[in-house]
Amino acid sequence: MRTYRLEEFGDIEGLVMRKEALPKPGANQILVRVRAASLNRRDTMILNGTYPLAPRAGIVPLSDGAGEVAAAGDGVTRFAIGDRVTGSYFARWIDGRMHPCVVDQLGCTLDGMLSEYALLDEQWAVRLPDHLSWQEAATFTCAGLTAWSALTGAEIPKPGQWVLVIGSGGVALFALQFAKLMGCRVAAVTSRAEKADRLRALGADLVIAAAETPEWGMKLREVTGGIDLVVETGGPATFAQSLIASSLYGRIVLLTVQDQKGKPVEIPGAVYQRSLVTISRLFVGSRNGLEAMLAAVATHRLKPIIDKVFPFAEAREAYRHFQLGDVFGKVVIDGA
Ligand SMILES: NC(=O)c1ccc[n+]([C@@H]2O[C@H](COP(=O)([O-])OP(=O)(O)OC[C@H]3O[C@@H](n4cnc5c(N)ncnc54)[C@H](OP(=O)(O)O)[C@@H]3O)[C@@H](O)[C@H]2O)c1
C-alpha cells in the first residue's frame, strides 16, 4: 500500500510517500480502505514542528479521512466489512471530559489517514452518513467537530441569537452551517472582501470585510445589539474586536490562542472591565460528540464546503495550497 509519513519536521520535504506491506488487523482492529482525507491547520503545525502535542517521528499524518472497512480482526463488533467510517480525532476519548489518558491524536501520536489503508482500533472510528461522497465525508473529524463542540458545548445558542464566525476556513464554515441549522443569525468577518458573497450564499446574515472596517467589533455590536456567541478562530488578530462585538453576557469560544508566529492572545483590560463575557476553550471533541454531530449532519443532509481536491500523489501540493491561507472551506486529498 502507499502511505505518506512525516519523516522529518520543519517543511514539506519531510512528507514522504512509501510503499509498505498491507497490515493485518489484530484483535478489535479494523483495516480501512481510505478513499479521501483532508487538511486542518493543526496538520501544518505538526509538519512545521509547532504543534503543542509532540508528534511521533515517522507518523502517518492527517486526522481526517473516510473510507470503508476492508478487513476486521477478531472480536470486532462495532463494524462489518464494507461499512463507511471516519476516524475520531482524540481516538481514545469516548465521552465526558478530556483527561490526560486520552490525548492521543490520529495523525500526530497515532498513525492517521494519509494512506491507502489505515489500521484503527474499532473504538477509534464512527459510521458515516450515507448522503456524503467520500470527499465530503473526509472533512468532519477535526474542523466539523470543533465547530459543533463550540456551538453545543456549555450552552446551545437559541434561535434568533447572533453567532459570529471568523474567516472562511473549515471551522468557520462548519460553525456558520451548524448555527443556521439551530436557527441562529450569523455574522461573518473575513479578511478578503471578495469572499463576502460566498459567505452570504451559505446563510450569513451579515458579512464584514475586516480590511474595509478594521474596527468591526463596534460595528457588529451596533448592528446586532451584541453577539451572543463568538467562534473565535482568528486569535490575536481578532480577539479584541470579538470582545468588543460581544453582548454583555456573551460567550467567546477561544479556539486559537496564538498566531503562527507565536504571538499570544491578549485580553484588553479596559474592554473586559465593562464586560461579563465568558471566555471558554475546547479541544475538538469526543467520539460521542462526533457521532452526535454526524447524526445532525445526516438528518439535515448537510454537505461540507470543499475548497479544492488534490490527487493522492499531490499531497505536498495540497499542503502548500492550504498553507497559503486563501481557502474557502476544506482542502481534500483523494484516496490512493
Ligand atoms: N482548539 C481547537 O480544538 C481547535 C480545533 C480546530 C482548529 N482550531 C484553530 O482554529 C483556527 C481555524 O482552523 P481551520 O482549520 O478552520 O482553518 P484555517 O486554515 O486556519 O483558517 C483559514 C481561514 O483563516 C483566515 N485567515 C486569515 N489570515 C490567514 C492567514 N495568514 N493564514 C491562514 N488563514 C488566514 C482565512 O479566512 P478569510 O480569508 O475569510 O479571512 C482563511 O480562509 C486555527 O487557528 C486552528 O488552529 C482550534
**DSSP states along 174-198:** HHHHHHHHTT-EEEEEES-GGGHHH
The closest-lying atom of ligand 1 relative to the alpha carbon of residue 283 is: 3
Whether 147 is covered by a domain: the verdict is: no
Helix (H), strand (E) at residue 295: helix 287-299
Task: Looking at the structure, tell me whether residues 221 and 175 fall in a common domain.
Answer: yes
**Contact predicate 285/94, CB 8 Å:** no
Domain-ending residue, one of 237, 260, 280:
280
Whether 44 is covered by a domain: the verdict is: yes
The closest-lying atom of ligand 1 relative to the alpha carbon of residue 170 is: 16
Task: Looking at the structure, tell me whether residues 198 and 262 fall in a common domain.
Answer: yes
Whether 168 is covered by a domain: the verdict is: yes
Task: Looking at the structure, tell me whether residues 261 and 170 fall in a common domain.
Answer: yes
pLDDT, tens digit, for every residue of 196-244? 999 999 999 999 999 999 999 999 999 999 999 999 999 999 999 999 9
> Residue 260's pLDDT band (boundaries 50, 70, 90)?
confident
Which amino acid is it at 71?
A: A
Q: Give one DSSP letter per residue of 23-61, joined into a string.
A: P---TTEEEEEEEEEE--HHHHHHHHT--SSPPPTTBPP
Tell me the CA–centroid distance for residue 31 and ligand 1, in Å.
31
pLDDT, tens digit, for every residue of 29-59? 999 999 999 999 999 999 999 999 999 999 9
pLDDT, tens digit, for every residue of 116-159? 999 999 999 999 999 999 999 999 999 999 999 999 998 899 99
- The residue whose CB lies within 8 Å of the most ligand 1 atoms, and thus the one to mutate among 51, 192, 238, 256, is 256
Taking phi first (over 0 means left), then psi (-120 to 50 degrees means alpha), and beta for anything else, what does residue 89 get? alpha
Whether 261 is covered by a domain: the verdict is: yes
Output the average pLDDT for the chain. 97
Whether 290 is covered by a domain: the verdict is: yes
Sign of CA dihedral 204, 209, 210, 213: negative
CATH code of the domain covering residue 21: 3.90.180.10
Task: Looking at the structure, tell me whether residues 261 and 304 fall in a common domain.
Answer: no
* Euclidean distance between CA atoms 46 and 130, whole angstroms: 31
Task: Looking at the structure, tell me whether residues 190 and 309 fall in a common domain.
Answer: no
Task: Looking at the structure, tell me whether residues 7 and 136 fall in a common domain.
Answer: yes
Task: Looking at the structure, tell me whether residues 274 and 294 fall in a common domain.
Answer: no
Tell me the CA–centroid distance for residue 166 and ligand 1, in Å.
8
Task: Looking at the structure, tell me whether residues 7 and 138 fall in a common domain.
Answer: yes
> Residue 249's pLDDT band (boundaries 50, 70, 90)?
very high
Q: How many domains does the chain have?
A: 2
Residue 306 exposed, middle or buried by CB count within 10 Å (0-12, 13-18, 19+) = buried
Domain-ending residue, one of 280, 303, 326:
280
Task: Looking at the structure, tell me whether residues 21 and 114 fall in a common domain.
Answer: yes
Q: Give one DSSP letter per residue of 8-22, joined into a string.
A: SSSSGGGEEEEE-PP
Tell me the CA–centroid distance for residue 32 and ligand 1, in Å.
29
Instruction: Answer whether 286 contacts ligand 1 (Cβ < 6 A).
Output: no
SS3 324: helix
Q: Full-prediction pTM beyond 0.95?
A: yes
* Euclidean distance between CA atoms 294 and 292, whole angstroms: 6
Residue of the CA atom closest to atom 30 of ligand 1: 325
Residue 325 has pLDDT above 90, yes or no: no
What pairs with residue 164 in β-bridges? 187, 230
Residue 214 exposed, middle or buried by CB count within 10 Å (0-12, 13-18, 19+) = exposed
Cell triple for residue 189?
A: 468577518
pLDDT of the residue at 261: 87
Which amino acid is it at 18?
A: R
Task: Looking at the structure, tell me whether residues 131 and 212 fall in a common domain.
Answer: no
Task: Looking at the structure, tell me whether residues 313 and 258 fall in a common domain.
Answer: no
Tell me the CA–centroid distance for residue 259 and ligand 1, in Å.
10
Instruction: Answer whether 144 contacts ligand 1 (Cβ < 6 A).
Output: no
CATH code of the domain covering residue 235: 3.40.50.720
Q: Which residues contact 138 (CB under 8 A, 6 or more apart)?
A: 35, 36, 37, 38, 64, 65, 66, 86, 113, 332
Write out the residue range of the structural domain in which residue 10 sits. Answer: 2-142+285-334
Tell me the CA–centroid distance for residue 255 and ligand 1, in Å.
9
pLDDT of the residue at 155: 87
CA angle 17, 22, 28 (to 5 degrees): 120
Whether 149 is covered by a domain: the verdict is: no
pLDDT of the residue at 154: 82
Task: Looking at the structure, tell me whether residues 262 and 307 fall in a common domain.
Answer: no
Whether 62 is covered by a domain: the verdict is: yes
pLDDT, tens digit, for every residue of 269-287? 999 999 999 999 999 999 9
Domain-ending residue, one of 238, 265, 280:
280
Whether 226 is covered by a domain: the verdict is: yes
